[in-house]
Amino acid sequence: MSRVVEVAPERLAGWLARFASNNPEPGAAQRISAREDFPYDPLAVLLVRRGGYAVGLAKGAAFTDSKVGTRHVQSRTAAGGWSQQRFARRRGNQADELVRAVAEHSTRILARRTEPRGLVVGGDRTLVREVLDDPRLAHLLGLPRRELYDLPDPRRTVLEEALRRGRAVRISIEDAAPGPPTS
């Protein structure tokens, strides 16, 4: 069985030492099978979902600038016929306005004056892509990227969690196969 743990970079040395002491070779109960570092600093964070957004620029474990907000985007309706088409147009217009607003905040916060070295994105894949399609954010497209699409609606605590997970070292741990049964 395999699992992934996320360890803050400043805690990595101690975590590795404790893991090694708890799993001495040979015959260890667990072993590290992979390690994925994301050592980019400053780090840009962009989270967008229908109804909410969060944008931030972090130096180390703290944000130097950020903006969290909400925008109403109507949900789907059970109405049929003309009403359904009218609601779909309204939803599309509201989503377009959300993308424009997030692109404006992103342009201001993630400006070229403090060039981010990495990008953490999350929320709705389509909306994130639409925000990053803004030509003013072209400098973000080539950055190393960590995707966290499992995050809930963007709020301040979710933005902080995205930064923590974005900076984390991902370590894959495999449990040793059980030995033959003893009788």
Torsion of CA 94, 100, 104, 110, to 10 degrees: 110
Domains annotated for the chain, with CATH where assigned, are 2-175 (3.30.420.60)
pLDDT of residue 58: 96
Q: Per-residue pLDDT for 35 more than 90? A: yes
Give the span between the Cα atoms of 23 and 16, in whole angstroms: 10
pLDDT of residue 88: 60
C-beta of residue 35 within 8 angstroms of C-beta of residue 107: no
User: Would you tell me how many other CB atoms lie within 10 Å of the CB of residue 143?
Assistant: 15
Considering the chain, what is the average pLDDT of its residues?
A: 88
pLDDT of residue 157: 97
